[in-house]
Structure 1
Amino acid sequence: MNVKPRIFIGSSSEGLKVAKYVKSYFANDFECFLWTDDIFKYNESVFDTLLKSASLFDFGIMVATKDDFTVSRNTNFDTPRDNIVFEYGLFLGRVGAGKAFVLQEEGTKLPTDLFGITTPRFVLADNLLQAEKLNDELRKIGNSMKEKMKIGELGLLPSTALAIGYYENFVALSCEALIAKGELQVGGKVFKKFEFNIVIPNDLDGDVKKKAKIFCTKLGLKEAKIETSGRGYPIWVTYKEGDDVLKIYDMPPTINGIDKAIEMYMKKGHIGKTTEQKLLEERELRNFKNVIQLLIDNDAYCKHLVRFVDENQEFF
């Protein structure tokens, strides 16, 4: 599942030139959407769309240009459109402070609540963008976003918590048992080398347990059991004749919880899936995998044994 992280880029009509530049800058590493890219739907309020969009994207970047003129306490200020400030606050609340950014045109006044916060800035001179300064700021934002993708954070939907539970209660215990025992007997053959494969489904269409059954049947896998300190876990295994490596496969059934949570969040009252629901699924599956990978990377046993495979990957 190699879906790029998604960025929502907001701006006023006057700041659209800068927003388009931001989109082109990040296009190679991220899936970028401007507010003009069919984000706002017919028969749906702007507020509802923004609430939904803030949950569909991994990051938000708002371009604050000098579009309005405000008088505050007898002092004149150049300010951005009020909707840009609102959207920035909305994304701050939904995706977190480290994933929402405001690009501030030099000389633009932002709300006093943001005083003390370093905001990336750019310069527009005679309506011409000074790209060199902006590029430096975008590079820093890009580094920050990539760093955020390497850590697991709790979010509105449960993929992080489910990934931790799956890792702690199954993956880590199974790998520890395999290493400690040193061997596993399957079909009268004793194996001392193992490969633990976590199968991530391509989507959440249908029950994951049924998907796992189809996957195991397709590969002709055999069922075995790992005895751990806590309980015995059934697993599915396969091996080539003459091969001394036992390949273990598991498709996490706990992923079903993500689908149920998304349906509740979307207040689903229909059969079938909307584009927004599928986008949420992609994001949550990606996060589920990323969190498990982070945990694996910090465990010597798991790091030695575990890898991810795709549901449709061809074997042997």
Structure 2
Amino acid sequence: MKPRIFIGSSTEGLAVVQRIKTFFEPDYDCYIWNDGIFQFNEGFLETLLKSASLFDFGFMVFAADDISRIRNQEYNTARDNVLFEYGLFLGRVGIDRAYIIKEDTVKIPSDILGVTLLSYATTYNQDGIKIPNQDFETQLSNLKKKIDEKVALGHLGLLPSTVIAISYFENFIKLLADEIIRQGDKIQIGDKIYKSAKIRIVIPRNLDADMKRQATIYFRKIHFESCPITTVHRSYPIYVESTSEGNVKDEAIIADMPTILSGIDKAIDMYFRVGHIGKTQEQQLTEERELNNFTRVLSLLISQEAFCREIVEIVDDDNQPI
């Protein structure tokens, strides 16, 4: 699951936008404003407000589309709607995740002079279309380093998935890892003893209104056995697979699908005021983003805790590492 970037521009800026999309696509899911994001059956502002919530980053291309007269002087300026979209994304994703990519002759409002922006020079191709010069990819590479760092550090924002990931880690994963390490080479799970154990967190591909049923079906399918494990805090129902036979087994694989994720599914339904069966494209994109964020935040928390780092892994529901 890749972080998602929205790239906005005027119609005249599409050649620049396509260069940006091509550059970032290997590592990011990139959406251009004309990729069907904006729905014709809704008001523009309503759709834009929803769409801004679907993305991790917003890039706005300020091309020299218009000429504005300011204090009796003329300046090249970006199209008004592009400036408006930038302001909206700035409010939704934050100042460290909304970026301006501007043509070097464009004047920008003084209120946003302190934000991070990329400036490019242009030339004309053989068809007379204005395009960025050869140095543009170097500029984009510098921008990519910035957002790669943002992704690596995690985004501890106020998304529902952030709060849910922290709660899941603190109230289950960390306590379970502590108990496994505390028991050493005699780990009691149900009526069996194990020499060692690993914790495997299974992230589903999509959300379900009843995550407990989805988890039950998944673990039956892969033939994991349900049994309890007791920590100093409480007893937990878990699913286990062992690597050998007999009363004393070598290693237990303790697997869990976070049923707490059902809270995200309910939050998405409330946000979109769902009154239908099935999921719209917007709901699916939001779901993917929340699962993405949950996984990134959880991975960050695990990497910072010594016991968890040693014995916890995150996989998808095809058992592939994430």
Instruction: Name structure 1 gaps, 5 residues minimum.
Output: none
Q: Please identify, of 289-298 and 187-196, the stretch whose mean Cα deviation from structure 2 is larger.
A: 187-196
Question: What is the TM-score of this pair, normalised by structure 2?
Answer: 0.91
8 Å CA contact retained: 2:2, 2:292: no
Letter in 1 for 2:283: Q
Which secondary structure does the structure 2 equivalent of 1:236 belong to?
strand
What's the counterpart of residue 209 of structure 1? Answer: 212
Give 3-state SS (helix, strand or coil) of 2:227's partner.
Answer: strand
Is residue 174 from structure 1 mapped to residue 176 from structure 2 by the alignment?
Answer: yes
Alignment of 1:79-98 (within 5 A): 79-98=77-96
| More deviation, 158-167/208-217 | 208-217
Q: Does 1:135 align with 2:124?
A: no
Match for residue 280 of structure 1 among 286, 289, 300: 286
State whether structure 2 residue 271 is matched by structure 1 residue 265.
Answer: yes
1:297 partnered with 2:303: yes
State the alpha-carbon separation in 2 of the partners of residues 146 and 139 from structure 1: 10
Out of 221, 224, 227, the position equivalent to 2:230 is 227
Structure 1 runs, 4 residues or longer, greater than 6 Å off: none
Deviation at 1:232, TM superposition (A): 2.1
Which segment is superposed worse, 43-52 or 174-183?
43-52
From the superposition, tell whether residues 186 and 38 of structure 1 become closer, same or farther in structure 2 (CA, over 3 Å): closer
**Native 8 Å contact 1:157 1:261 kept in 2:** no
Other structure's SS at 2:134 match: helix
- SS, match of residue 22 in structure 1: helix
Distance 1:173 1:108, change over 3 A: same
Aligned to 1:47: 45
- Which runs of 5 or more structure 2 residues have no equivalent in the other structure? none
Corresponding letter in the other structure for 2:289:
R
Of the three residues 237, 245, 256, the one matched with 1:250 is 256
Aligned-partner residue type, residue 129 of structure 1: I
1:42 CA drift (Å): 1.9
Give per-residue Cα distances to partners, 1:117-154, cap 9 Å, x unaligned.
34210011345434333212211221122111123324
CA RMSD of superposed structures (Å): 1.8
Note if 1:32 corresponds to 2:30: yes
Conserved in 2, the CA contact under 8 Å of 1:152 and 1:160? no
SS at structure 1 position matched to 2:53: helix
Give, in whole Å, the separation in 2 of the partners of 1:18 and 1:221.
51
Partner SS state of residue 313, structure 2: strand
Task: Give the conservation status (yes or no) of the 8 Å contact 2:99–2:116.
Answer: no
Instruction: Provide the C-alpha distance between the structure 2 equivalents of 1:125 and 1:103, rounded to a whole number of angstroms.
Output: 16
Q: Is the 8 A contact 2:2 2:28 kept in 1?
A: yes
5 Å-filtered alignment, 1:109-128, equals 109-126=107-124, 128=130
Residue aligning to 1:58: 56
How far, CA to CA, are the matches of 1:176 and 1:164 in structure 2?
16
Q: CA deviation at 1:211?
A: 1.0
Amino acid at match of 1:279: L
Cα 1:306/1:185, change in 2 over 3 Å: same
Contact 1:178 1:226 in 2 (8 A): no
In structure 1, what residue type is equivalent to 2:293? N
Counterpart CA distance in 1 for 2:280 and 2:201 is: 28
Deviates more, 1:234-243 or 1:291-300: 234-243
Structure 1 residue 240 displacement after superposition: 3.3
The code of the aligned residue for 2:206 comes to D
Task: Pick closer, same or farther for the CA change 1:93–1:75 going to 2, 3 Å.
Answer: same
Match of 1:12 in 2: 10
CA distance in 2, matches of 1:187, 1:78: 72
1:285 to partner: Cα distance: 0.6
3-state SS, counterpart of residue 312 of structure 1: coil
Q: Measured at CA, do residues 15 and 25 of structure 1 come closer, stay the same or move farther in structure 2, by a change above 3 Å?
A: same
One-letter code aligned to 1:5: P
How far apart are the structure 2 equivalents of 1:118 and 1:161?
Answer: 28
Change in 2 beyond 3 A, CA 1:186/1:153: closer
Whether 2:198 is the aligned partner of 1:195: answer yes
Work out the CA distance in 1 between the residues paired with 2:237 and 2:51. 40
Deviations along 1:227-266, whole A, 9 cap, x unmatched?
3232222222111334511110111111011001111111
Q: CA deviation at 1:188?
A: 4.8
Aligned length: 312
How far the C-alpha of 1:186 sits from its partner, in A, is 4.2
Question: What is the CA distance between 1:273 and its match in structure 2?
Answer: 0.7
